[in-house]
Amino acid sequence: MAKSYDRVTVVDHPLIQHKMSILRDKDTPCAQFRQLVRELALLEGYEASRHLHLEPVDVETPLMTAHCQRLAGRAPVIVPILRAGLGMLDGFLELIPHACVGHLGMERDETTHEPRAYYAKMPSHLDERQVVVVDPMFATGGSAIAAIQYLRKQGVKDLTLMVLVAAPEGIEAVLAADPDVHIFTCAIDDCLNENAYILPGLGDAGDRIFGTI
């Protein structure tokens, strides 16, 4: 059984486990892979958005006033790490259609496995918003740490990382690098191979989403 960690939630609903088994299959074609990433982001996002803040609101029903709750403050922000994170964007936006989107471009060097940042475009007032970073794969943690450090520098206080597959190495690196971030994942896998790919994993998520294998 995978080790458990503080600040890490494994979202293992039966539907998520079922979809993950198809996602991991090397014979799953690109279109189905892309659709599954979107569906998994929606299901996982439901859990990862539990901490969103609410405020009271009175609503007039056809019969009387109902005391309700709605999302409080400025719209939350979802930040896909390009490219593969884009595959999770639409599923999450189905849950929170009024969310803003910040884009962060990161590419892992195939030899050093270090991330190279190549693009960033964020909404305003990040310090007042709840931010969720999405990326299907969380291997060494280098890309996630670079994203978290960038967002902290922009003033982000409330930060969540949502991935589909995490390696223990990445989890430990991110928890050590940031004292507050909470991680949601659908699975914690065994380890990394010599090329820093997750085992058993699902291969290269970006290539499988965009058909660039």
Residues at the interface with ligand PRP (CB under 6 A): 81, 83-84, 106-108, 113, 115, 135-144, 170, 196, 205-206
Contacts for 31-39: CB closer than 8 Å, 24+ residues apart: 33/208, 33/209, 34/87, 34/209, 37/87, 37/88, 37/91, 37/136, 37/164, 37/205, 37/209, 38/87, 38/88, 38/90, 38/91, 39/91
Which pair of structure tokens corresponds to residue 59?
């609503």
Give the residues across from 116 on adjacent strands: 107
Active site residue 108: yes
Torsion on CA atoms 172, 177, 182, 185, rounded to nearest 10: -40
Q: Which of 12, 112, 127, 212 is catalytic?
A: 112
Question: Which is nearer to ligand PRP, 39 or 52 (by Cβ)?
Answer: 39
Is 207 part of the annotated catalytic residue set? yes
Separation CA 4–CA 93 (nearest Å): 29
Write the interaction track for ligand URA spanning residues 75-104; mark x where CB under 6 A is met and - where it is not.
---------x--------------------
Which pair of tokens denotes residue 168? Answer: 């223990």
Closer residue to ligand PRP, CB minimum distance, 94 or 114: 114
Pick one of ligand URA, ligand PRP, none as the site partner of residue 142 (Cβ within 5 to 8 A by kind). ligand PRP
**Residue 141 found at the interface with ligand URA (CB under 6 A):** no
Among 32, 105, 107, 197, binds ligand URA (CB under 6 A): 197
Q: Does residue 139 contact residue 111 with C-beta atoms inside 8 Å?
A: no
Answer yes or no: 204 catalytic. Answer: yes
The number of beta carbons lying within 10 Å of the beta carbon of residue 78 is 26
Q: How far is the CB of 183 from ligand PRP (least distance, A)?
A: 12
Q: How far is the CB of 135 from ligand URA (least distance, A)?
A: 9
Q: For strand 115-121 and strand 103-108, is the pairing parallel, antiparallel, or unpaired?
A: antiparallel
Which of ligand PRP, ligand URA, none does 198 bind, CB closer than 5 to 8 A by kind?
ligand URA
Do 104 and 161 touch, CB atoms closer than 8 A? no
Kindly state the smallest distance separating residue 60's Cβ from ligand PRP, in Å.
46
User: Where in the sequence numbering do the catalytic residues fall?
Assistant: 108, 112, 204, 207
Q: Binding residues for ligand URA, per CB under 6 A?
A: 84, 137, 139, 197-198, 201, 204-206
